[in-house]
């Protein structure tokens, strides 16, 4: 069994009445981009090409994320909101799909699902707020923590990682930081009978290139 690991650095976004939300690229990890007035995305991927070149299928045994602390807000304002979503998928997410995930996750929504169960290896969807007990310390506290995904085997050469952060548009002014994160996948690479592997390869290609459903 192998443990695959990938990391995404800290996000810092400042809010003010004059400028609105501003991504602090000088104080954030590499790869962060601002995709909406209060939405931020970072993309990485696990490179599985070595296994796919050996005609092996990757069977997942588990997936999780690790991070040192909850989001932080200075100065904190009671009622501030932050949504943090960590996705491991076998297709890359567009900005539109990433933002739709903050509403629907990978479950059917208005106009159809943006991301299907089979395309989702693992997803963690959390909502945070600041309340009167944590305002002085500046920490967001979790309101919900949900996990979605299929852990379906894949013959694809990549698993795409997307971290999506959406702050409440009415959040108070100040510094809003989301800690760095480590993504972990436990998997076994196994050979399958030729016909089964070819069908798996075909299915992985279809899921990676599946068009949007209207």
The encoded tokens of residue 206 equal: 């279809």
Residue 58 or 112, more confident? 58
CB proximity list for 94: less than 8 A, separation 6 or greater: none
The encoded tokens of residue 168 equal: 């409440």
pLDDT in tens, 48-88: 876 655 667 788 999 999 999 999 999 999 999 999 999 99
Of 47, 114, 49, nearest to 85 by C-alpha is 114
Of the CA atoms within 13 Å of residue 165, those in its CB half-sphere come to: 27
pLDDT in tens, 152-181: 888 788 899 999 999 998 999 999 999 999
Output the pLDDT for position 56: 77
Task: Provide mean pLDDT across the span 138-165.
Answer: 92
Of the CA atoms within 13 Å of residue 69, those in its CB half-sphere come to: 12
Residue 200 or 129, more confident? 129
In this structure, how many other beta carbons lie within 10 angstroms of the beta carbon of residue 172?
Answer: 15
Report domain extents, the chain: 2-208
Which helix or strand (DSSP H or E) is residue 176 part of? Answer: strand 174-178
- d(C-alpha 198, C-alpha 5), whole Å: 27
Mean pLDDT (the chain) is 87
């Amino acid at each position: 069994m192998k443990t695959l690991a990938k990391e995404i650095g800290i996000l810092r976004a400042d809010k003010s009445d004059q400028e609105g939300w501003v991504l602090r690229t000088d104080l954030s990890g590499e790869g962060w981009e601002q995709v909406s007035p209060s939405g931020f995305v970072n993309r990485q991927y696990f490179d599985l090409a070595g296994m796919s070149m050996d005609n092996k299928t990757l069977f997942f045994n588990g997936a999780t994320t690790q991070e040192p602390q909850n989001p932080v807000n200075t100065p904190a304002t009671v009622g501030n909101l932050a949504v943090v979503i960590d996705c491991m998928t076998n297709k890359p997410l567009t900005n539109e799909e990433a933002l739709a995930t903050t509403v629907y996750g990978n479950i059917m929504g208005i106009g159809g699902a943006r991301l299907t169960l089979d395309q989702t290896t693992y997803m963690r969807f959390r909502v945070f707020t600041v309340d009167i007990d944590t305002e002085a310390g500046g920490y967001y506290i979790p309101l919900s923590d949900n996990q979605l995904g299929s852990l379906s085997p894949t013959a694809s050469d990549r698993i795409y990682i997307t971290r999506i952060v959406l702050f409440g548009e009415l959040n108070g002014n100040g510094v809003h930081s989301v800690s760095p994160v480590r993504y972990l996948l436990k998997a076994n690479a196994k050979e399958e009978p030729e016909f089964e592997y070819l069908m798996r390869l075909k299915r992985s290609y279809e899921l990676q290139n599946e068009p949007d459903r209207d």
